[in-house]
Amino acid sequence: MRLNIIGAGGWGTALATILSANGLEPTLWVRERETADTINNTHENSAFLPGVTLSKSIRVVNDLAAAAGAPVLVLAVPTQYIRETVKKNVALFEGKIIINVAKGIERGTGLRVSQILREAAGITPENYVVLTGPSHAEEVARNTPTAVVAASENQEAVKIAQEAFSTASFRVYSGDDVIGAEIGGAVKNIIAIAAGIIDGLEIGDNAKAALITRGLAEMSRLGAALGADVRTFAGLSGLGDLIVTCDSRHSRNRRVGEEIGRGKQLPAILSEMRSVAEGVWTTESVLALADSLGVEMPIAAQVGDILFRNKSPRAAIIELMTRETRSEN
């Protein structure tokens, strides 16, 4: 089996360490020649995964064709750059099994990653797998016990992902609800920004627990409206990913919210971040999608007002707390 990875951020690099541990000798693609040379020479991705020594079996290239020669490609490009990457190189992706590990909804179109790939490169559901769940790169690369789910309409493709990535510290469950897995991975980043705001304001654990619980309800409503299995959101790609992203020091989206809660402005926060906080741009896309479906998402709406309309975080929390009373279910 040959699997190569498109995208050498922290997550793509961490997954390369797993493939390498399983003897698969992956090629890892990065845009910049200088970055490729540096990682090859030092065996460390100091920009995105500092302190982790990479196996010499991991080869880094900046020629996409050199990485795309494998029959199975792991797509680790941030969601907002996927269309650009594949549309310019459609022939390289034709007939390949694509294991996507990006999380988010495309700006302007409201499309999930599987839909972007279908539209931009003709990737069919039979050739698409989403690998998702509570899995920070910093921990995975250091062999911390982690469980994720690989979801696809094609269970043979799922088995490929399971065989390639399963180790004593990285457990891969199977699933078939692609919509639910993708929506969970996207919406949890929005809720994580809200969780970070609570941390930044030092409001307390009660508020954060309520936020996570009601955020799960919003995620489930949107997923159900799109045809997902509601049970998916009680699993690794829903509740599991939501918990870790809302509560971890590794979470970029939670950190964005925390800085906002402390009074910092969004442009300044983003300018200081090298990694992408997908939840910022996914907020716009998810709210537009929810509006088109008539799905109520009050937490996401308040996050959007805070991020893009300079709303006071404290005012947003008061509005959420004083909404008309209703049944929990």
In the three-class reduction of DSSP (H, G, I as helix; E, B as strand; rest coil), residue 27 is classed as strand
**Do residues 217 and 247 both lie within one domain?**
yes
**Do residues 199 and 155 both lie within one domain?**
no
Catalytic residue among 87, 96, 103, 188: 188
Statement: residue 50 has pLDDT above 80: yes
CATH of the domain at 110: 3.40.50.720
Q: Which domain-ending residue is among 156, 176, 196? A: 176
**Do residues 216 and 112 both lie within one domain?**
no
How would you class 140 by CB atoms within 10 Å of its CB: exposed for 0-12, middle for 13-18, buried for 19 or more?
Answer: buried
Q: Which domain-ending residue is among 120, 145, 176? A: 176
Q: Which position has the token pair 């090859």? A: 40
Statement: residue 291 has pLDDT above 80: yes
**Do residues 138 and 278 both lie within one domain?**
no
**Do residues 58 and 156 both lie within one domain?**
yes
| Single pTM value for the model | 0.95
**Do residues 284 and 316 both lie within one domain?**
yes
Statement: residue 274 has pLDDT above 80: no
Statement: residue 60 has pLDDT above 90: yes
**Do residues 168 and 304 both lie within one domain?**
no
Mean pLDDT of 95-118: 96
pLDDT at 272: 87
Q: Is residue 329 included in any domain, yes or no?
A: no
**Do residues 154 and 193 both lie within one domain?**
no
- What mean pLDDT, rounded, does the chain reach? 96
Q: Is residue 294 included in any domain, yes or no?
A: yes
Q: Is residue 328 included in any domain, yes or no?
A: no
Cα–Cα distance measured from residue 181 to residue 187, given in angstroms and rounded to the nearest whole number: 10
Confidence tier at 277 by pLDDT (50, 70, 90)? confident
**Do residues 11 and 84 both lie within one domain?**
yes
Statement: residue 3 has pLDDT above 90: yes
Q: Identify whether 188 is a catalytic site residue.
A: yes
How would you class 41 by CB atoms within 10 Å of its CB: exposed for 0-12, middle for 13-18, buried for 19 or more?
Answer: exposed
The pair of three-digit structure tokens given for residue 13, joined into one six-digit string: 């690099």
Q: Is residue 148 included in any domain, yes or no?
A: yes
**Do residues 159 and 63 both lie within one domain?**
yes
Cα–Cα distance measured from residue 98 to residue 85, given in angstroms and rounded to the nearest whole number: 13
**Do residues 219 and 113 both lie within one domain?**
no
Candidates 270, 220, 265, 275; CA nearest to 242 is 220
**Do residues 197 and 123 both lie within one domain?**
no
**Residues 226-273: tens digit of each pLDDT:** 999 999 999 999 999 999 999 999 999 999 999 999 999 999 998 888
Mean pLDDT of 19-28: 96
Q: Is residue 239 included in any domain, yes or no?
A: yes
Q: Is residue 184 included in any domain, yes or no?
A: yes
Q: Is residue 236 included in any domain, yes or no?
A: yes
Statement: residue 35 has pLDDT above 80: yes
Q: Is residue 59 included in any domain, yes or no?
A: yes
Statement: residue 225 has pLDDT above 80: yes
pLDDT at 95: 93
Number of domains observed in the structure of the chain? 2
Q: Which domain-ending residue is among 120, 149, 176? A: 176
The pair of three-digit structure tokens given for residue 22, joined into one six-digit string: 């399983």
Domain extent at residue 283: 179-321
More confident: 54 or 273: 54
Mean pLDDT of 186-191: 97
Residue 148's H or E segment, with its range, is strand 146-151
Mean pLDDT of 88-116: 96
Confidence tier at 310 by pLDDT (50, 70, 90)? very high
CATH of the domain at 273: 1.10.1040.10
